[in-house]
Amino acid sequence: MKKFIIAMLIMLTGVAAASARDSYSRDIKVLPAAAQNFIARNFKAKVNLIKIDSGTFSSTDYDVILTDGSEIDFDSAGNWKDIEVG
């Protein structure tokens, strides 16, 4: 029984890791509204690339790179976490 439980835990961990995928977009509309508004209010540069980090258990983070080289990290609600101005 103990081996079965350990095997199930290993399989669940593998499934969770496999479901965490990154995707990319250039469309600002994939961001939450709060993130879209933040970029529009505070930056003149356009969005160059958005990396969407879909984590396990429905946690999604967004890494945005602007055309001027600035990078902004947002959480799943669209609140900024980190900014590096280029």
Top-confidence residue, 38 or 1: 38
* Whole-number pLDDT of residue 70: 96
The C-alpha angle with vertex 84 and arms to 81 and 86, in degrees rounded to 5, equals 155
* Distance (Å) of CA 12 to CA 33, 36, 42, 73: 33, 35, 42, 29
Q: Is residue 38 pLDDT above 70, yes or no?
A: yes
Q: Give helix then strand counts, H and E, for the chain.
A: 2, 5
- Verdict on whether the full-model pTM lies above 0.85: no
* Whole-number pLDDT of residue 28: 94
Q: Kindly indicate the confidence band of residue 30, based on its pLDDT and cuts at 50, 70 and 90.
A: very high
CB 33 within 8 A of CB 41: no
Q: Kindly indicate the confidence band of residue 59, based on its pLDDT and cuts at 50, 70 and 90.
A: confident
